Amino acid sequence: MLARPLALALALTVSACATSAPPAKPIVYTGTPQEQWEQGQAAFLAWSAARPGWKTTDSGLQYHRLKAASAKAPKPEPGAVVTIHYVGRFIDGRTFDSSRDRGEPATFPLTRLIKGWQEGVPMMRLGETWEFVIPAPIAYGDRNRPPIPPGSALQFEIQLIAIPAA
């Protein structure tokens, strides 16, 4: 009598093992340390683009709305001055800059910012919060901007607080 339930439990355990995915193969990076860094950035961008709810523009900018505003809320023009709160992170989650940590939003013209922000912020409506993943070519590219290494993809959470001239 005990043999039948035991056999069923064993069969279910074995079948469960057969349906789980095999472990992922580790990624092997080659080349110089900078080339390996860039390969890791590319792997993250590919993973990030496949996340549910994320969209990617032709330039490679990835975005996801965290908090929506009214459809009637204004959007900034591409050259507008904006007031925002932001948190900038490396792809491993470490924060490298944050207006929130300083306790004060930042105000600046979009034309003075990296291309990823120049493209992404005008898509937002006043009051919205979005997440962006910005590939190196539309972030800081190959420039060394400590603490940001050359060739870095960056993550930003941006809250559009005001469009002063609007």
Q: Which of 63, 86, 132, 138 is catalytic?
A: 86
Residue 95, classed as helix, strand or coil, is: strand
CA 73 to chain centre: 24
156 among known catalytic residues: yes
Cα angle at 87 between 43 and 158, to 5 degrees?
Answer: 95
Given the residues 84, 132, 138, 140, select the one marked as catalytic: 140
d(CA 119, CA 59): 9
List 114, 142, 161, 163, catalytic entry: 114
Q: Which of 44, 91, 96, 148 is catalytic?
A: 96
For the question of residue 96 being annotated catalytic, the response is: yes
- For the CA atoms of 134, 116, 151, 144, the dihedral, rounded to the nearest 10 degrees, stands at -130
CA distance 63 to 65: 7
Secondary structure letter of residue 47 according to DSSP: H
- Rounded to whole angstroms, the Cα distance separating 166 from 107 reads 14
- Residues 127 and 73 sit within 8 Å (Cβ to Cβ): yes
Active site residue 132: no
Q: Which of 63, 138, 156, 163 is catalytic?
A: 156
Instruction: Based on the residue annotation, tell me whether 44 is a catalytic residue of this protein.
Output: no
**Residue 86 is a catalytic residue:** yes
- Is 63 an annotated catalytic residue? no
- Catalytic (active-site) positions: 86, 96-97, 114, 140, 156
